[in-house]
Structure 1
Amino acid sequence: MSSVRFLLFALLPVFAGCQSLFPTDEPAPAPVVRLQGELHVVNNRLQFRPCQEKRQFILEDSGNTGLLQEAVTLLKGGKDVLFADLGGRMTASQVTGTDGQIELTKLYRIQREGHGCDDLNFKRQTLRASGHEPEWRLDANSQGLILQRPGQADLVVPYLEEQLPEGRFSLSSEANGQQLELWVAPQRCVDSMSGSVQHLRAELRLNGQILKGCGAYGGARQEAIALPEE
């Protein structure tokens, strides 16, 4: 009996060596990266060129974000190039003439108007939101927020951020005699004027007045949210 026990202990290093030769762990998936760039259609497929780059990537909507449908709708407006802000995993591609493939997992916004790659303020912003009737635009960064409205002086104030359940949050301020609250929820939102699609629905409450609109994270906020179904 003791000899059998000795043999089993002697074979333990051999078994361990066999396991190291045949690892069971699968390789970790590529990390999700956030990218901004130009979106266009080539040979009935969506291709993406990151800002300030010449590389072209095929887009595969593995996260079911709805980007393909949104792009088709916006391209009907006469534009052949759109701007997209998205998150995805970069992998190899077998398509000739491309530099790889992006497996799309997150969609922040897609638009046919605006500054796009030329937006110099994007990297410093944590959030941007806007709406119509009446027109308003709010930009926030780590230092404070600025609210812009036609015919009125810009309102620049500090704010407090409160995290709420289900990915919602709010920005609030009572500085300069103004009572301001911006409520934000992770929900697909279509701009009623431009047709752009953003991943946040916003509601601005200013001195009792309620203004609705859409929003998206700026480049200084790396948190990503996929578009839920309506």
Structure 2
Amino acid sequence: MSITRSLLTSVALLPLLAACQVYTGKPEGPPAATRLQGQVQVENGQLVFMPCQEQRRFVLLNGEAGTVEREARQLARDGQSSLFADLAGQLGGSQGKGSDGSFGVSQVYRLQGEGLGCDDLNFKRLTLRASGNEPFWQLEVGSKGLVLNRPEHEPLALPYLEEQLPDGRLNFSSEANGQRLDLWVAPQRCVDDMSGAVNHLSAELRLDGQVMRGCAHFGGARN
């Protein structure tokens, strides 16, 4: 082959080599979901969401927005006009006058008509919070351990082990001070039978052989 022909062949291959270097073969995935807490109310037939400590207003759309609307109307029938929501989804463009954008809901963590809501200062430090009734109990899990609160008992603070199980289930266990504690949670819609609050996890607490059931939700330290 002549030198001229070799040079021409090399020049012809350059665009193909450049194309191979540019193409990565990795398609872009969907944008990460945004988790927000705030107040929900119905305005002109639309659900409007206002994040905590903000002036922005988002119209709830698609996905789990229907769930939010159904639960909001049920809580309203129970006499609770102000609804706190802990949601995750995609933020979108403006939905018209009086709106700063849309919020396509993909996950409902919690909906409640009573409680601390936006004023819950401990929420962002929590991994998980679970509670139940008859008898009442509340368990909070954080980076420094878990704390079990019950009426007529001193708060019980314990170290714990966390185990991830199939189907999104979790187990938090502790054996200290002569006591055995297990908290089992599963991704299942759960309604508090006293307040009507909706949570995205069901819970079962086992303490020294006693079984107590309730609901749970992730704190701000866990999505």
Amino acid at match of 1:217: F
Extract structure 1 runs of 4+ deviating beyond 6 A: 6-18
Counterpart of 2:63 in structure 1 is 62
Residue type of the partner of 1:55? R
Quote how far apart the aligned CAs of 1:72 are.
Answer: 1.5
> Could you say which residue in structure 2 is the equivalent of 1:214?
215
Superposition pairs for residues 168-179 of structure 1, below 5 Å? 168-179=169-180
> Corresponding residue for 1:227?
none
**Contact 2:129-2:139 at 8 Å conserved across structures:** yes
Shift of 1:94: 2.8
CA distance in 2 between partners of 1:63 and 1:15 (Å): 46
Alpha carbons 2:75, 2:81 under 8 Å: kept: no
What TM-score, normalized by structure 1, do the two folds share? 0.85
Q: CA deviation at 1:182?
A: 0.3
- Structure 1 pair 12–94 and aligned structure 2 pair: CA distance change class (3 A): farther
Please tell me whether the aligned partners of residues 57 and 100 of structure 2 are also in contact (alpha carbons under 8 angstroms).
Answer: yes
Gap change, CA 1:187 and 1:8, over 3 Å in 2: farther
Q: Name the one with the larger strand percent.
A: 2
- Give distance in 2, aligned partners of 1:62 and 1:183: 28
**Any stretches of 5+ residues in structure 1 without a counterpart?**
19-24, 224-230
Cα RMSD, aligned residues only? 2.7
* Partner SS, residue 183 of structure 2: strand
**Structure 1 residue 184: Cα displacement:** 0.6
Cα distance between partner residues in 2 of 1:175 and 1:28: 44
Q: Is the 8 A contact 2:80 2:114 kept in 1?
A: no
Query: Which residue identity is paired with 2:47?
Result: L
Match of 1:110 in 2: 111
Which amino acid is 2:210 matched to?
Q
Aligned to 2:39: 38
Percent identity, aligned pairs only, is 53
Q: Equivalent residue for 1:156?
A: 157
CA distance in 2, matches of 1:213, 1:44: 33
Matches of 1:131 and 1:61, distance apart in 2: 31
Q: Is the 8 A contact 1:38 1:81 kept in 2?
A: yes
* Distance in structure 2 (CA, Å) of the matches to 1:80 and 1:64: 18
CA 1:151–1:31: 2 relative to 1, 3 Å: same
Deviations 1:134-157 (A, max 9, x none): 000000101101101111111111
1:1-230 counterparts in 2 under 5 A? 29-63=30-64, 66-221=67-222, 223=223
Asked whether the equivalents of residues 36 and 85 of structure 1 are also in contact (C-alpha less than 8 Å), the reply is yes
Gaps in structure 2 of 5+ consecutive residues: 20-25
Q: Deviations over 1:81-134 (max 9, x none)?
A: 200001011010232110000010111000000000000000110000000010
Contact 1:128 1:140 in 2 (8 A): yes
| Secondary structure of 2:143 counterpart | coil
